[in-house]
Structure formats: C-alpha cells, structure tokens
Amino acid sequence: MAESFSAPFVRGIDANRTLKDELTAGVRSQSARRRISVTDLVNPRQAFFRWTRPEIQPSPERIQMMMSGTGFHNLFGQAISTEEFVEQFVEFEGIVGKIDIYEDVPVELKTTSTLPDAPGAARPSYIDQLGMYCTMTGRGSGRLFIYRREYFGRTPEFRAFRVEFRDIEPIKSEMVRRRDLFQQALETKDPERLPRCEWFERNCDYLQFCGCADAELGTRMIPATVFQIERDTAVETALAGRMNNTPGRSGGFRLNDLVFPRKAAYEHQQTDEEEVKDETFETRLRDIEREGFRGQLYKAVRFGIPGAFKNMPVKLRSLTGRVGTYKDVPTLLRSTRVTKFIDRDRLPEERPWYFDRLAFECALLGSDRGRLVLYYETMPDDKFMVYDVGFKDLPAVLAEADRRLTLLETGADPHLLPACPPWMSKMCNFKDRCGCGDVA
C-alpha cells in the first residue's frame, strides 16, 4: 500500500448526504438542460455522436495527439500569462466555454501539424471558436495563437494573429440557432438536420454511423465578411521573448508535484531529448471531452448552482495552481474503478494521493475542511459519494509542502523525496533509476 503523508492530519471524514443529494439533483438538471459547449457548436454533427455514442472512444493515436496539445497549452499558458487568466470558464445563453487565456481579450490557442503563413489559411473552426468566445465576453476582437509542434526534426514554430469581428450580433444568432438545432437532435436522437463537419470523413471515429455523405455542408458560423484577420509579428516577437525568459518545465511546479514529488524531481532532471508527458488526471479530466455520468457530475459541481464553484489561484514560490472550491470548500473530484465502496475510515490509507492533494490544497487556501467527490465508475447505477474531510495542524501540512518544494527547487536527489504510489511505477519512465518503493 502507498505511504500516506496526510492520514495523520485527517481529523475526520463524514459522508455528506445533503451535498450528495444536491449534486444528484444537479446531475439530473444537467442532463435535462443538456449544457452545450462552444466546441459542440463548431462541428455539431460530430458532437452529436460524441454525446450519444460515448462508448466510441478516440483511438490511442488520437488521444496521444490530444494530450500533446494539452501539455503545450498548459506550458504555454503558464509562460505567457498568469493563473488568474488561463482557462476561464464562460457561459452565455446556456452555452458554456473555456477560454484558453482571457486578460483583455479572449485568446484561442491551437496546436497543429501545419502552420498557416497567410492569415486566410487559418482554419474556419479556429475563427468560429474565437468568435464565439468574443461574443460570449462582449469583445469585438480576439487573438489566435497557432503553434506547430516539433515533428521528426522539424523545428516548432508559432504564429500570432489578431482577429477583429465587425459585428457580433450575427454570431449570437447563429450560436443560438445551432444550440437549438443541436438540442433538438439530441432530444430526437436524430442528427439528420445537423450539417456535415469541416473535416468531412477524415479519420473520423463516427464515420460508420454518420451518414454524412448525404448531409448538407451548412453555413459558416462566421462568414468571411464578418471578420478581419491579421498576422501580428509584434506579438510574436514579444511572446518569444517571454517564452525564452520563462524557465521551462524545470522552473515551475504544479500542485501534483507535491503529491508525487519524486516523479516531479526526475522530470525536472530530464535532458531535452527525454519526453515529458503531462499525465495528471486533472489534465485528462479537463481537456478530453467529458462524457457519461462522470461528465454530468463534473458539470453539476461546476455549473449546478451559479457561483457555487470557484477556481481559486494558489501560489507557493515557484508553484502555481488552481484549487476548485464548492461553496468555499476545496473540492476534489476523482473517480475510481474499484468494485466495492471503500470504507471511509480507510480512504486516507487506500487512496493517499487524493488526501495528500486535498491536504495541500486546504493548507494553501487556509481551509481546515476539504471535500472529496468520489465517483465509483464501475458500479451500477452511477454511484458516487461526497466526503467532507476535516484536517488538523494545517501549518504542519504547509511546512511539508514547503519542504518538498524546496527539495524540488534545489534539484535535490529524488530519493530524498517520498516515493509515488506503487501503481504509478508500471508506467513510469524513471523506474530503472528510481527503484520505486524502496525509499519512503
């Protein structure tokens, strides 16, 4: 069993039935209201199958591609902006969206394998997405950053564009029209009236069900007459400077680096040739489309009661992160594939990584109470539990966070840091060097 740092600091764990019922109601209303996202509206036909055929999962290659973009999004966001402005959730007319960076105007960040030189070559879907975010925030312009990944020795490259929208009213109307069309398709379980996607038939996971050969192409969300796009070389130069002055992976730390510090220490020792993968569960949850009950639960926490969920920035020297709070209590959403409920008193020993993370989050926010929403994904009937967790001696928890971070920041021998849970070593690139589990 994995070593638990936080178990001695747990004052008590209570199952919170009131909140569980509240979230269950929230899940029901989420399902009824079908909260539609900006991404759904870009290619609604493909989104229809994503919603209605959750059993069809993207191929491993596609997941890998999505994840590589995700890692870059995180690093780039950290490099050019601050926690306060990255990943901003917005809502408009029952449509939700997540803006990559939103300081003065929305910024949409795209990772691609090809880079447009001429502004007109930017994919229409990029403009659609940015235009919708500008509409949702009432801004007449936004920025589009396109990054071409390094590939077989080809150097990575970056382009910045400024996009002005002449009139956001037609965009508003088209968003609402598509929302209604999409909602109707979900209700009738029939995608017939949804237009064909932009990338028609290319490697689509839903090709065999779609019948898109007969589907009409549909109108553009944002016609060419409504926007103007210009390359912004001044911003490219300024950002290149900021990126170069920002320490890479070795300069900044995340909340999970406190929970799995030894692995973080190895990652920070890596040479450029070694691959860095961001494989935190949060990243997966955040960036792969959420489906099924887990998705509804996530949305119920996030959007169920307006204003109840907040994403609070936290910082400890070089560590930056965000803590999700529900009704001002740090709240962690996790899922497990175990087939029986875990006895609540044994949870801190059986799942120490949940509790270590929650303890650090609570210590950083100065809250002596945290909350764990645990979804038992393999159990029938969508079982989940809400646990209220009381912590004691938060200064000692904070001192341990500080100790781990100091060791990480000073490049200490990874063996001075606690080992990760044994299950992690199977997939760990560092297991040969580390001897996982030998040292606590």
Stretch that binds ligand SF4, among 1-9, 62-70, 72-80, 201-209 (CB under 6 A): 201-209
Q: How far, in Å, CA of 414 to CA of 60, rounded?
A: 31
Which range of residues in 25-33, 281-289, 331-339, 422-430 is near ligand SF4 by CB under 6 A? Answer: 422-430
Classify 416 as helix, strand or coil: helix
Instruction: Tell me the two tokens of residue 24.
Output: 């269950």
Q: Which member of 101, 122, 163, 212 binds ligand SF4 (CB under 6 A)? A: 212
State which residue, 34 or 431, has the beta carbon closest to ligand SF4: 431
Beta strand 383-391 pairing with 10-15: antiparallel
Q: Cβ closer to ligand SF4: 192 or 230?
A: 192
Q: Based on CB atoms, which residue is closest to ligand SF4, 323 or 428?
A: 428
Per CB under 6 A, 201 contacts ligand SF4: yes
7 binds ligand SF4 (CB under 6 A): no
Nearest to 81 by CA among 61, 63, 107: 107
- For ligand SF4, which is the closer residue by CB, 27 or 428? 428
Question: Tokens 């890692």 correspond to what residue?
Answer: 71
How many residues sit close enough to ligand SF4 to count as binding (CB under 6 A)?
25
The set of residues, in sequence order, having a beta carbon less than 8 Å from that of 342 and lying 6+ positions away, is: 336, 350, 351
Q: Does 353 bind ligand SF4 (CB under 6 A)?
A: no
- Coil vs helix vs strand at 141: strand
Q: Is 211 helix (H, G, I), strand (E, B) or coil?
A: coil
If one asks whether residue 200 binds ligand SF4 (CB under 6 A), the answer comes out as: yes
Three-state SS for 35? Answer: coil
CA–CA separation, 11 vs 26, rounded Å? 29
Which residues 257-276 are close enough to bind ligand SF4 by CB under 6 A? 262-263, 266
CB of 202 or CB of 340, closer to ligand SF4:
202
Select 205 or 350, whichever has its Cβ closest to ligand SF4.
205
By beta-carbon proximity to ligand SF4, the closer residue of 45 and 322 is 45
CA dist., res. 176 & res. 409, Å (int):
49
Determine the Cα angle at 299 with ends 45 and 22, to 5°.
140
**Closer residue to ligand SF4 (CB): 9 or 266:** 266
Per-residue binding string, ligand SF4, 401-420, x by CB under 6 A, is ------------------xx
* Sole binder of ligand SF4 in the list 206, 227, 353, 376 (CB under 6 A): 206
Residue type at position 276: V
The 41-70 site mask, x for binding ligand SF4 (CB under 6 A), equals: ----xx--x---------------------
Give dist(CA 429, CA 436) in Å, integer: 11
Q: Which is nearer to ligand SF4, 226 or 419 (CB)?
A: 419
Where helices occur in 215-368 by DSSP H, the ranges are 233-245, 255-259, 261-269, 281-287, 292-303, 347-350, 352-365
Cβ–Cβ < 8 Å for 108, 222: no
Residue 39 lies near ligand SF4 (rule: CB under 6 A): no
How distant is the alpha carbon of residue 47 from its chain centre?
18
Dist CA 340 CA 139 (whole Å) = 50
Find the part of the chain contacting ligand SF4 (CB under 6 A) among 71-79, 288-296, 346-354, 426-434: 426-434
Determine, following the binding rule CB under 6 A, whether residue 210 of this chain makes contact with ligand SF4: yes
Q: 315 has which bridge partners?
A: 320
CB 298 to ligand SF4: min, Å: 24
Contact call for residue 425 and ligand SF4 (CB under 6 A)? yes
Note whether 165 and 226 are within 8 A (CB).
yes
Nearest residue to ligand SF4 on Cβ basis = 436
**What six digits make up the tokens of 88?**
């901003």
Residues forming the site for ligand SF4 (CB under 6 A): 45-46, 49, 196-197, 199-201, 204, 206-207, 210, 212, 262-263, 266, 419-420, 424-425, 428, 430-431, 434, 436
